[in-house]
Amino acid sequence: MPPVPTSLINSVCQTVCASPSPMLLFAADDALTLLYANEAHVRMTGRGVTEIVGKPMFEAFAPNPESEAASAEEAIRGIVNDILESGAPSPDLELQHDLPTEDGVFEQRFWSVIHWPVHHDGKIAAILQRSQDVTEEVRARKLVAAEKRAAEQSAGISFFSYDPETDLFERSPGIDAMFGFAHGEAGEHANPFFERVSPEDLPAVHKEVARAMAGGAGTPAAFDYRVLVPGEQKARHIRVRAGIERDPDDAKLKLFGAFVEMSDIEHARAELAELSKRNAALVVESNHRIKNSLAIASAMLAQQLRASDDPSVQEALRLAATRIAAIADVHGELFKDAGVEQVAAGSLIEQFARSFSRTIDGNADQCRIAIRCDEVILPSHYAVTIALALNELLTNAVKYGMSVDNKCQIKVALIRSVDTVTLRVSNQIASQRIGTVASQGVGTRLITAFARQLEGSIDTGVQGDTFEAQFKFPIPDAGDRRDGSTEETS
């Protein structure tokens, strides 16, 4: 198969580079040679573009040699063959392909993948793959399935009666298996079972038995404890629900109930909690690194600005540095918060406006920015777009609102309605500084692009001596909203 043209790769890159979905482009050759990965894919896998481009897919992302799951490579090669034969995109497929951690240990990961053919000169030259990490969803689904199995197996299968006075323990064979005993190995008494209860949990078990027996007939009892089976690294988790009743055979008060093994549920819950913790740490670390990288870029632009004598070049570099600093500020705010999946937009706007006010040339104390924000919770990937839009609107407000004596009055408002959010920036027009209010420059085009990215709109207008811009976009999920507002002046 001929090599994939660079022009085709560049075209795909321009299309998907800013996509929030992780996208991977690879050649439709025998090696599935990797051609491009967008930033979302890099963040998801932790593998940079230069690390993988030019390599076969399953050399760059080697399979876990110890995994017993079905081969992801076989599945993807089958999909590629189907696409080459039919020319149609593949349906959504869920598969397992583990990734190594920083210490080289493979971590179980699940993916939802879709593939599209990329044509050149009437032939399929490459395949575009969207890979969504669905590990947490799969684990949660397995947790629900485990709970269902436990509920189905608990009725009658693990029935028992226990006489604390004689230590006689009548039970179904399933209970012996829960404690790691072969049939008949443990005998008729409970003591061998108590010996395998975790020493940390055993006192509470004895205390609950004594409490229930003291309460007499009808007293419920509940136990949740760990069982340590010799030769096993992980503890088993046992749940017991029982009650005190009188045995009709000998009229003695005994403990009757059922055992349920919860090991798979507890292990899945622990793994899910660890994965969530790891993912949150990775996102926070990513924001931290992005902020540092942007700070370096901003410093380099500042150095270049000082080295230039051309006013137009200086202005362009200054605006570029301001935009980079805006992105860095957002990632700095996200870095402070471990809850990185959502962002409080009102607080973000306030923080950014205060930060912007410190960058104004001249006497910043004379340029006042009044801020009033309704609080609304938005997905965190909205944060950069909103901050960049506000940066352009504030830059425009200062440009046309600051008078020759460095005074200006700017108002910023974030207004929430039922299903939309409006970012409004207004300023008094300084007649000695402004030629025309309307602009068709880079800033205008950027704001328009930002509005389109959030499926919103940008409206501007002049009323008397005040210029006002309104950046509107729909709230993506009504469940993310909450009441509250804040107001201050910087």
Same topology between domain 6-132 and domain 139-261: yes
Instruction: Please write the tens of the pLDDT for every residue from 301-347.
Output: 777 777 777 877 776 776 677 667 666 666 666 655 545 567 788 88
Q: Where are the domains of the chain?
A: 6-132, 139-261, 265-332, 341-489
pLDDT at 203 over 50: yes
139-261 homologous superfamily: PAS domain (3.30.450.20)
63 CB-contact burial (10 Å; exposed 0-12 / middle 13-18 / buried 19+):
middle
220 CB-contact burial (10 Å; exposed 0-12 / middle 13-18 / buried 19+):
exposed
What is the reported pLDDT for 338?
43
Lowest mean per-residue pLDDT among 68-82, 157-171, 214-228, 440-454: 440-454
pLDDT band at 265 (very low <50, low <70, confident <90, very high): confident
Average pLDDT over residues 388-409: 75
pTM of the model: 0.38
Provide the terminal-to-terminal Cα distance of the chain, rounded to the nearest Å.
Answer: 62
pLDDT band at 478 (very low <50, low <70, confident <90, very high): very low
| Higher pLDDT, residue 445 or 155 | 445
Query: What is the topology classification, in CATH, of domain 341-489?
Result: Heat Shock Protein 90 (3.30.565)
Whether 489 contacts 459, CB under 8 Å: no
Q: Rounded to 5, what percent of the chain is helix, strand, coil?
A: 40, 25, 30
What is the reported pLDDT for 52?
92
Whether 135 contacts 112, CB under 8 Å: no
DSSP state of 5: P
What is the reported pLDDT for 54?
92
In angstroms, how far is CA 41 from the centroid of its own chain? 13
Lowest mean per-residue pLDDT among 113-127, 283-297, 451-465: 283-297
Residue 66 to residue 287: CA distance in whole angstroms = 33
Which residues, 6 or more positions from 424, have their beta carbon under 8 angstroms from its beta carbon?
411, 412, 413, 414, 415, 468, 469, 470, 471
Q: Look-up: residue for tokens 């189905």? A: 152
What is the reported pLDDT for 307?
76
Whether 89 contacts 114, CB under 8 Å: yes
What is the reported pLDDT for 297?
74
443 token code pair: 């800033």
pLDDT at 484 over 50: no
Return the CATH number of the domain spanning residue range 6-132.
3.30.450.20
Average pLDDT over residues 359-371: 66
What is the DSSP annotation of 433-465?
Answer: T-S-S---SHHHHHHHHHHHHTT-EEEEEEETT
103 token code pair: 């210490």
Q: What percent of the chain has pLDDT over 90?
A: 31
In angstroms, how far is CA 207 from the centroid of its own chain? 43
Q: Let me know the angle formed at the C-alpha of 170 by 165 and 171, rounded to the nearest 5 degrees.
A: 140
Instruction: Please write the tens of the pLDDT for every residue from 251-263.
Output: 899 999 888 888 7
